[in-house]
A and B are shown apart, each in its own frame.
Chain A
Amino acid sequence: MKADDAVVLAQALTKRFGAFTAVDGLDLAIARGEVVGFIGPNGAGKSTAIRLLCGLLRPSAGRAIVAGYDVGREPEAVREHIGYMSQKFSLYGDLTVRENLQFFGGLYRVPRRELEQRMGLAVALAGLEGRERALVRTLAGGWKQRLALGCAILHRPPVLFLDEPTSGVEPEARRKFWDLIHHLASDGVTILVSTHYMEEAEYCNRIALIDAGRLVAIGSPGSLRRRELGGTLYELECSALGAAVAAANSAPGVIDAAIFGDKLHVLMAQGADTAELARLLGRARITAGPPRAIIPSLEDVFVRLVAKPRDRRSGA
C-alpha cells in the first residue's frame, strides 16, 4: 500500500514520558475499510499509540496523519473525523441510554433530522431496544460497550479507534461486538482496535504486534504464523517441563523452547533432526512423547517475536 492511500498513517511516531519511551518510532499505514488489531501485553504502548492517533497526546517525535489531518497540528480536525472508545468505560452512568446518545449527537453536531434515526440505529446495534430510558450504569458490560460504540459512530466517522473495547466483557458479548466491527468495516470505516485477547486477533485483517513501544511485526494472521517463526514448531508432552526447556535449548538445531500450557513447544531450524532432541531429553531423564509438528498459534508467534529482540539485548 502506498502511504498516500493510507487513512491512518504513522511515521516514526514517538511518545516519551520523561525518560520512559512509551511509543518508539511507530510506522503504520492502514487502508480504508481495514480492521487492524493492536496486540501486545499490558504496558506495551497500545493505548498511548491510539491516544497519539486521536490527538489526545502530543507526539514527542515523528508524525501521524489521520483522515488527512496531522494529529500534532490539527487535532480538532482529526477529532471531527474519528470515533474513539477509551479503554475505561466512559459514558455517563447517571444518564439514560437515550440521553447519552443525545449528548454525543450534540457534541458532534449531528443534524436534528438525522439524529433520531441514527440514535435508533445505535440502540438497535447495541441491542437496547426498549431500554432507552434505562440509566446506563444499570446496564451489563456488553451492552455498555456496544452503546459506547454506538455513541462513537453517531457522526459517521471514517476512522474508529477502539482501545480494548472488549476487555472484561463475556465471550458471547465479545463475539457480537466483533460482528459490529466487521459490519462497520464493510461500510468502509477504517478501524484500529487494541486487544489482549489473542483469539480476537484472528478476527482482524492485519495484526500489529507491539512490545515495549515498538512495532514488532505486522501482517495478516495467516502470514504472521507462516513467516515469522522461521522454522518448524513441534509440540511434545513431557515430564519436568522446567528441566525439559533447559535440555531442549541445548539440543542442536533448536532455535527456541518454551512451555505452553502443560506442553513443551520447540522451534527447530528448517530441516533439523528431532532425533537428537529426543536423545538429549532422555539423557536428562525426562520422559517425553514423540514431537509432533504443529501449526503455530499467534501466541507462539508473539512469544517468539517478543523474545527475539530481548535475546539480542541481553547478548544471548
Chain B
Amino acid sequence: MNFKRLAAIAYKETLQVWRDPRSLAIALLMPLLQMVLLGYGVSLDIKRVPLCVYDQENSQTSRAVVQGFTASKWFAVARILGDERAVRAAMDRGLCAGVVTVPVDFSRRLAATGTASVQSVFDATDANTTNIAIGYAEAAVARTAADFQARWAAAHGRRVPTVGTVDLEPRVWFNEGLDSRNFIIPGVVAVILGLVGAQLTSLTISREWERGTMEQLISTPVTALEVMIGKLVPYFFIGLLDAAFCLGAAAYWFRVPFRGSLGALVVTTALFTLVVLGIGYLVSVRIRSQLGASQVALMLTMLPINLLSGYAFPIDQMPAPIRAVTLVVYARYFVTILRALFLKGSTVGALAVPIAALVLYAVVILWVAARGFRKRLD
C-alpha cells in the first residue's frame, strides 16, 4: 500500500463529492430531512385517542362519568352523539377510535344496586392502540368510580373500605417519563446513518464505470486496497459529520437524555459508519450502473433497517425465524448500543457483544469489498 496513491484517490474523491450536487444533497440534506420526518413522525405514544360520547341519561351522575373522559389527557372527546345510529356512523366513518355510552338508567341502577355499567365500543382495526385505549378507559372509569365511593362515604360518614386491596407500585427505569420518543430517536439516528452511508458510497465505483474513467484508473499501478481506502476517507468524514448532526439533534433538540460515555459513542459511531460505507462500496463494486447500485443499496438498507433493526418494532416480539434474520441486520447492534448509551449510560463492557458484532461486520464487509474490486475488464 502506497500513501501517495491513497492520498491522490482521497483528494480526487473529495473534490468530486464537493462538486457533485447530488452527493452533497445525499450527504447533507438527507439526514436533516429524515431527522425531522422520523424524529417527529414516528411516535409510539398513544395520546389523545379520539373518542365519541353518547350520554343517554344526561344526568349529573352520568355527566360526571363523561367528565372523567374529557378530563383525561389520554382522550380527546371528538363529538357528543345523540342517538344509536350516530354511534354506528361515527365508528364507520372513523370519526373516533371508540364510543362511550352511558345507559339511560345509569344513575338509577347505581343508586339501587351500587353498581352500574358504562359501555365502551372500540374500533379494533389497530389492535395495539385499542388495547392501550381500553386500559386508559378503565383507568378513567375507575377514577370516577373512586370519586363516587368517596362522595358516598363522606355523605354517610363512613370510610371507604380498604381491606383486601393490593397495589402495584410501578417504577420505570431509563425512560422515566415513559416517552416513546426517547426510545425511538436513538434508533432513528442509526436508521439515518445506515441509509445515507450506503447511498454515499454506492455510487463511487459505478460512477467511474459509467463515465469511463475506471478503465483509465485500473490501467495505473493503484491497488484495490488503495482505491477502497482512498475512496472511503472523504465519505467517512461526511458520515461522522452526519452522525454528529443527528446525535446532536437527538440530545439537544429532541432532548433525549445522554448518560453514557462520549468516547464510547464516538468509537461505536465510527465503527458503524465504516460498516455502512463498506456495504455501499461493496454494492458499488458489484454493480456497474449508478442507478442500479443506488437501488440495490437502498433495498439492502431501507427495508432491513426499518423493519428489523428493532428501532421501532421490538425484536423480542418477532417470531423466532425473523429474530434469527435480525442477527445479520447490522443496524440492530448500533440501535442497541445507542439506546444503551443514551438512556442507560451503559459501559463499554456491557456492550461488548454488539460492539464485537459490528467489528466483525466491518472486517468481513471491507475484506469482501476489497477483494471484489478487480483491476481487469473481464
A interface residues, Cβ below 8 angstroms from B: 17, 51, 54-58, 75-76, 79-80, 82, 84-86, 88-95, 99, 102-109, 148, 151
In the complex, chain A residues whose CB is within 8 Å of the CB of B4: 106, 109
Known: A56-B377, A107-B220, A109-B5. A90 touches B15 (CB 8 A): no
In the complex, chain B residues whose CB is within 8 Å of the CB of A99: 12, 15
Cα–Cα distance between A94 and B20 once the two chains are bound (Å): 8
Could you tell me if B222 and A90 are in contact, using CB atoms closer than 8 angstroms?
Answer: no
Which chain B residue shows the least CB distance to A82?
B219
Cα–Cα distance between A104 and B15 once the two chains are bound (Å): 14
8 Å CB contact of A109 from B2, B213, B217: B2
Minimum CB–CB distance for A6 against chain B, Å: 21
Minimum CB–CB distance for A301 against chain B, Å: 32
Which chain A residue shows the least CB distance to B213?
A90
- Top 6 closest pairs, chain A to chain B, by CB: A106-B8, A90-B216, A88-B212, A84-B219, A86-B215, A107-B220
Could you tell me if A57 and B221 are in contact, using CB atoms closer than 8 angstroms?
Answer: no
8 Å CB contact of A75 from B5, B212, B215, B375: B375
Minimum CB–CB distance for A297 against chain B, Å: 33
In the complex, chain A residues whose CB is within 8 Å of the CB of B215: 56, 86, 88, 90
B16 at the interface (CB under 8 A from A): yes
In the complex, chain B residues whose CB is within 8 Å of the CB of A148: 216
Contacts A107-B222, A109-B5 known; 15 new A-B pairs at CB < 8 A: A56-B218, A56-B377, A58-B378, A86-B219, A90-B211, A90-B212, A99-B12, A99-B15, A105-B8, A106-B5, A106-B8, A107-B9, A107-B217, A107-B220, A148-B216
In the complex, chain A residues whose CB is within 8 Å of the CB of B377: 51, 56-57
Known: A94-B16, A95-B12, A103-B12. A54 touches B219 (CB 8 A): yes
Could you tell me if A57 and B376 are in contact, using CB atoms closer than 8 angstroms?
Answer: yes
Could you tell me if A104 and B213 are in contact, using CB atoms closer than 8 angstroms?
Answer: no
Q: Is the interface of A mostly helix, strand, loop or mixed?
A: mixed
Which chain A residue shows the least CB distance to B6?
A106
In the complex, chain A residues whose CB is within 8 Å of the CB of B219: 54-56, 79, 82, 84, 86
Could you tell me if B11 and A93 are in contact, using CB atoms closer than 8 angstroms?
Answer: no
A to B CB contacts below 8 Å, 22 in the list: A55-B219, A56-B375, A76-B221, A80-B221, A84-B216, A86-B212, A86-B216, A88-B212, A88-B215, A89-B212, A90-B213, A90-B216, A95-B15, A102-B8, A103-B8, A106-B5, A106-B8, A106-B9, A107-B221, A108-B220, A109-B4, A109-B221
